[in-house]
Chain A
Amino acid sequence: MKYLHKLILPLFLLLLWGIGSRAGWFNSYLLPAPSTVWDAALGLLQKGSLFQHLSVSLYRVLAGFLISFAIAFPFGVFMALHKKTYSAFMPLLEFIRHLPPIALIPLLILWLGIGEPPKLTVIILAAFFPIFLNTISGIANCDPKLLEVGKIFAFTAREQFFRIRLPQAVPQILVGMQLGLGYSWRSLIGAELIAASSGIGYMIMDAEQLSRPDIILVGIFSIGLLGCLIDFLFLIISEKILRQNIRKDEVWPE
């Protein structure tokens, strides 16, 4: 019941789509009826191809995201702790940040071939900057008043980092990860443009070649729904990690 109001708008749009299709408001070639899309989805599910494409895409997104995190997080920590190095790297990083990963696809194909590496690289690049920049911001902007607490308790640099800087930066790093995960999904189609023979992006491109807008819509809805589901799972995990995000109205009586 708590989340029911959030379903009102999507259900209204679905209803409008259904009524519009039945009334002939939309060209069925450009926008097939919801029932047609539903039938296409059921057909793909029965064949098992939707699940197969989704699992391939999910693997690419998760693998790309994890590799991106494994590079961006330590790199971000290093840059946050070495401000001079960061300022030396900043112009180059700013330049790369403004390049859409999709624009690099032709070069990536030339350099890495047409297998999995270029696809993963696109996803890695898409997820890199949100994680990297949020890690830098979280670690570098640690509250100096809390750092002084570590100083008066004679903490070593290592203790300062692991007991104050890092825990305080966790919320911001998690925001970066959440954004990175979202960007990974968004770059998926671009990644699967590269001579793919499987994956939800490939399914959409293939449907386009076959003039099957119903399958294209199944692909789009699948990406959206799976993205929402992953985001939801990520939020649950984040809330478990962020114990300090306890509702502020839960005050303990004195």
Chain B
Amino acid sequence: MAGIKLQHLCKTYYINGKKIQALDGIDLEIPEQHFITIVGKSGCGKTTLLRIVADLEKKSAGTISYPDSFDEKKDISIVFQEPRLMPWLTIKENIVFPLGKANQKTVDSNANKYLHLLGLEGFQDAYPTQISGGMAQRVSLARTLCYGPRFILMDEPLSALDTFTRRKLQQEILKIYFTEKLTILFVTHDVDEAVFLGQKVVVMDQGKIIDEIPVDLPYPRNTHSDAFFRLKEKVLDVLLS
């Protein structure tokens, strides 16, 4: 299945004349309709990788190839670590923010669809300052879905949330992944989250991919099963090696 292919991707920063190799020859294939998680310690280059794929930063070397009929502007989007909602807009207006000059009927139908899908009904007229962090992150996800991308990059979107909200949102993300037939590249520093969500866990360290571990567990995953625990241990071993 065609997908996005990263070949020998490099990113070098110079800070006060000192060279920092944020990405060092990343090769990764992200097949369409796959859920891939990237796990690694802070500063290993996960976010830089995502930002380069999202075209928010320029790569120093390497290539990114997209499948045929892929619109680099329209078919890809990102959910950030922070919700980044527009404080002057209501929740509904934030969700339909990417639609721009679409007619009112399209705006309303999209708003209703994603308010329902993310369980945000009843909050449509609230403002971002009035809702919790978990709600705000749901709005951010709804906004990205409203844009209609085939490929979604997620940069630790649940890292600021409490354990309960986090698990609830992980399940919602999986539900959306299946119903919307998306391709997701999800960055996290939480091994449990990486194994719970991904079909493949990519382990990164010092700007390199050090292992790719397939997760052949059926959804929904039981986090207390032996198989889940063994996979978590395996990822941790790679990370700590």
Interface residues of A (CB under 8 A from B): 145-146, 148-149, 151-155, 159, 163-164, 167-168, 170, 242-244, 246, 248, 250-252, 254
Q: A153-B98, A164-B86, A246-B127 are in contact. Are A145 and B132 (CB under 8 A)?
A: no
23 A–B pairs (Cβ distance < 8 Å), ordered by A: A145-B80, A149-B97, A151-B56, A152-B77, A153-B77, A153-B147, A154-B74, A163-B97, A163-B100, A167-B86, A167-B88, A168-B88, A243-B88, A244-B87, A244-B88, A244-B127, A244-B128, A251-B131, A252-B122, A252-B123, A252-B130, A252-B131, A254-B132
- The distance from the CB of B122 to the nearest CB of chain A, in whole angstroms, is 8
- B80 to chain A: which residues have CB within 8 Å? 145, 148-149
- B55 to chain A: which residues have CB within 8 Å? 151
- Using A154-B73, A168-B88, A248-B129 as known contacts, list a sample of 9 further A-B pairs with CB atoms less than 8 Å apart, ordered by residue number in A: A145-B84, A148-B80, A149-B86, A152-B78, A153-B77, A153-B97, A155-B100, A252-B130, A254-B135
Q: How far is the CA of A22 from the CA of B55 in the complex (A)?
A: 78
Q: How far is the CA of A244 from the CA of B97 in the complex (A)?
A: 16
Q: How far is the CA of A251 from the CA of B127 in the complex (A)?
A: 9
- B78 to chain A: which residues have CB within 8 Å? 152
How many chain B residues touch A (Cβ–Cβ < 8 Å)?
27
Is B129 in contact with A152, judged by CB distance below 8 angstroms? Answer: no
Interface residues of B (CB under 8 A from A): 54-56, 73-74, 77-78, 80, 82, 84, 86-88, 97-98, 100, 122-123, 126-132, 135, 147
Residue of B nearest to A153 (CB): B98
- The distance from the CB of B184 to the nearest CB of chain A, in whole angstroms, is 15
Is B130 in contact with A251, judged by CB distance below 8 angstroms? Answer: yes
- B135 to chain A: which residues have CB within 8 Å? 254
- A151 to chain B: which residues have CB within 8 Å? 55-56
Q: How far is the CA of A250 from the CA of B130 in the complex (A)?
A: 6
Q: How far is the CA of A75 from the CA of B148 in the complex (A)?
A: 38
- The distance from the CB of A64 to the nearest CB of chain B, in whole angstroms, is 30
- B126 to chain A: which residues have CB within 8 Å? 252
Residue of B nearest to A251 (CB): B130
- B84 to chain A: which residues have CB within 8 Å? 145-146, 148-149
Q: How far is the CA of A246 from the CA of B89 in the complex (A)?
A: 12
- The distance from the CB of A156 to the nearest CB of chain B, in whole angstroms, is 9
Q: How far is the CA of A38 from the CA of B80 in the complex (A)?
A: 64
Is A145 in contact with B82, judged by CB distance below 8 angstroms? Answer: yes
- The distance from the CB of B216 to the nearest CB of chain A, in whole angstroms, is 32
